[in-house]
C-alpha cells in the first residue's frame, strides 16, 4: 500500500512536475487529468501520485523552490479534500498533513528487521551519544552492552513504547437509496413499471461529465427529447420505501454486462471518507465521482454508489 494524493499544477508545468516526482525513485505519476472542482476555465491539471514513502515531498519542494519568486500557486489535495498550497506550508508540515490524512499507510509499511532474533547484533554508524563506528549487542540479560573498544552513552535510547490498540474499523450503512437497472428503451420502461407496480415518478436526470446525476427541471416530452438528442439518462420511480432507477443504455444495445446496473447506499461522512480512501488505495475501478457521491466496481463486478447522508438530490 502506498500514499496517494493529487498535485494541482498549471498545465504548462505538468511535465516538470512529473520529472520532480520521478526523482524520488519510489514515487510515480499514475494519472494526469483536468483539475476538478475549480471550474471549467481552470488552467490546472491534477497529477495522481502514488509513493511508498514521503521522500517525494522533498523532491517536489526542491523543484518548487527552483521556480523562483514568481512561481505559481501549486497545491497538494488530500483524500479528505483539503487543498494545501506548497507556498503556505513548509516541508515538515506537508509531510505531517499527509500522514494524518492517510494513517493506514503507516500501519501497512513492512517493519524491516522485526523478524530477527533477540541476540542479533545491531550496528549503528551514527547517532546522538554514539561514536561513529561503534555498535551495540544484546547481552544475556536482554540489555544493551557496548562492543569491545566502543564508548556508548545509552541515555539517548528512548524507552519502549507500549503497544497501541488500533481503532476498530467501522462502516455504517444508513439506507438503501435505490436499485438501478439497465433498460434499452427508457420511455417504454417508465410506462411499464409505473403501470405494473403503480410507481410514482420522482424525477429524471442526465449524467454529467464525471458521472454525477444532473436533474432535469421543467416540462419534459419524450418525443421532443428524442428529436433534439436530449433524452434523459435515468428515471427514478418509487412505491413506498422502494426506489427504482431505470438507466438508459440505448436502443439495440446488447446487455452483455447484465440488467442490474448498481446498488446505491447512504453512509455517514466518516464512512464515506474511509471507504473512498480504501477504494482508491486498492485500485478498484472508479465509475463516477462527485463531492458527496462515489461509484466504484468491486472485485466481483458489482457496482456500488456511496452517497453522504443528507445529500440533496432525487434520492433519499
Surface-to-core class of residue 50, CB atoms within 10 Å of its CB (0-12 exposed, 13-18 middle, 19+ buried): buried
Give how many domains the chain has, as a whole number. Answer: 2
Indicate if the pLDDT at residue 315 is higher than 60: no
User: Within this chain, do residues 102 and 181 fall inside the same structural domain, yes or no?
Assistant: no
Task: Using the 3D structure, point to which of 108, 124, 154 is the last residue of a domain.
Answer: 108
- H/E run at residue 278: helix 269-282
Q: Which of 149-163, 186-200, 285-299 has the lowest mean pLDDT?
A: 149-163
Query: Cα-atom radius of gyration of the chain, to the nearest Å?
Result: 27
Mean pLDDT confidence for 119-140 = 44
User: Within this chain, do residues 190 and 270 fall inside the same structural domain, yes or no?
Assistant: yes
Banded model confidence at residue 25, pLDDT cuts 50, 70, 90? confident
Task: Using the 3D structure, point to which of 108, 135, 153 is the last residue of a domain.
Answer: 108
Q: Is residue 198 domain-resident?
A: yes
Q: Is residue 39 domain-resident?
A: yes
pLDDT value of position 74: 92
Q: Is residue 129 domain-resident?
A: no
Q: Is residue 291 domain-resident?
A: yes
Task: For residue 219, give the DSSP letter.
Answer: -
Task: Using the 3D structure, point to which of 67, 87, 108 is the last residue of a domain.
Answer: 108
Which backbone phi and psi does 107 adopt, to 5 degrees? -75, -20
pTM of the complete model beyond 0.85: no
CATH number at residue 181: 3.10.180.10
Q: Which of 15-19, 87-91, 217-221 has the lowest mean pLDDT?
A: 217-221
What are 125's three cell numbers? 554508524
Surface-to-core class of residue 32, CB atoms within 10 Å of its CB (0-12 exposed, 13-18 middle, 19+ buried): middle
Q: Is residue 162 domain-resident?
A: no
Q: Which of 159-168, 269-278, 295-304 has the lowest mean pLDDT?
A: 159-168
Taking alpha carbons only, the member of 74, 72, 94 closest to residue 7 is 74
Banded model confidence at residue 70, pLDDT cuts 50, 70, 90? confident
Q: Is residue 217 domain-resident?
A: yes
Residue 202 belongs to domain spanning = 173-308
Banded model confidence at residue 84, pLDDT cuts 50, 70, 90? very high
Indicate if the pLDDT at residue 228 is higher than 60: yes
User: Within this chain, do residues 104 and 181 fall inside the same structural domain, yes or no?
Assistant: no
Banded model confidence at residue 57, pLDDT cuts 50, 70, 90? very high
Banded model confidence at residue 113, pLDDT cuts 50, 70, 90? very low
Indicate if the pLDDT at residue 150 is higher than 50: no
- H/E run at residue 260: strand 260-267
More confident residue, 39 or 88: 88
pLDDT above 70 covers a percentage of the chain that reads: 72
Banded model confidence at residue 64, pLDDT cuts 50, 70, 90? very high
Calpha distance 195→116 (Å, rounded): 71
What are 69's three cell numbers? 519568486
Mean pLDDT of the chain: 76
User: Within this chain, do residues 179 and 278 fall inside the same structural domain, yes or no?
Assistant: yes
Amino acid at each position: 500500500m502506498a500514499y496517494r494524493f493529487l498535485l494541482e499544477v498549471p498545465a504548462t508545468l505538468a511535465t516538470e512536475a512529473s520529472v520532480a516526482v520521478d526523482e524520488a525513485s519510489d514515487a510515480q505519476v499514475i494519472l494526469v487529468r483536468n483539475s476538478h472542482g475549480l471550474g471549467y476555465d481552470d488552467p490546472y491539471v491534477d497529477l495522481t501520485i502514488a509513493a511508498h514513502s514521503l521522500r517525494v515531498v522533498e523532491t517536489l519542494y526542491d523543484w518548487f523552490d527552483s521556480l523562483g519568486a514568481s512561481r505559481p500557486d501549486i497545491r497538494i489535495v488530500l483524500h479528505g479534500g483539503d487543498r494545501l498550497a506548497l507556498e503556505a506550508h513548509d516541508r515538515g508540515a506537508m509531510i505531517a498533513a499527509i500522514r494524518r490524512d492517510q494513517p493506514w499507510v503507516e500501519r501497512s509499511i513492512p517493519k524491516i528487521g522485526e523478524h530477527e532474533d533477540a541476540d542479533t547484533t545491531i550496528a549503528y554508524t551514527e547517532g546522538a551519544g554514539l561514536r561513529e563506528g561503534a555498535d551495540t549487542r544484546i547481552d544475556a540479560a536482554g540489555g544493551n552492552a557496548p562492543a569491545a573498544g566502543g564508548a556508548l552513552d545509552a541515555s539517548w535510547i528512548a524507552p519502549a513504547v507500549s503497544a497501541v490498540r488500533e481503532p476498530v474499523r467501522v462502516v455504517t450503512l444508513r439506507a438503501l437509496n435505490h436499485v438501478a437497472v439497465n433498460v434499452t428503451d427508457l420511455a417504454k420502461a417508465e410506462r411499464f413499471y409505473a403501470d405494473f407496480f403503480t410507481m410514482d415518478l420522482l424525477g429524471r436526470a442526465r449524467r454529467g461529465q464525471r458521472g454525477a446525476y444532473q436533474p432535469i427541471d421543467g416540462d419534459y416530452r419524450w418525443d421532443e427529447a428524442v428529436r433534439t438528442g436530449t433524452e434523459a439518462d435515468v428515471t427514478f420511480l418509487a412505491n413506498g420505501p422502494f426506489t427504482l432507477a431505470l438507466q438508459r443504455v440505448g436502443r439495440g444495445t446488447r446487455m452483455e454486462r447484465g440488467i442490474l446496473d448498481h446498488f446505491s447506499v447512504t453512509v455517514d461522512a466518516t464512512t464515506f471518507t474511509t471507504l473512498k480512501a480504501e477504494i482508491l488505495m486498492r485500485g478498484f475501478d472508479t465509475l463516477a465521482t462527485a463531492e458527496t457521491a462515489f461509484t466504484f466496481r468491486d472485485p466481483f463486478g458489482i457496482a456500488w454508489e456511496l452517497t453522504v447522508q443528507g445529500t440533496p438530490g432525487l434520492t433519499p
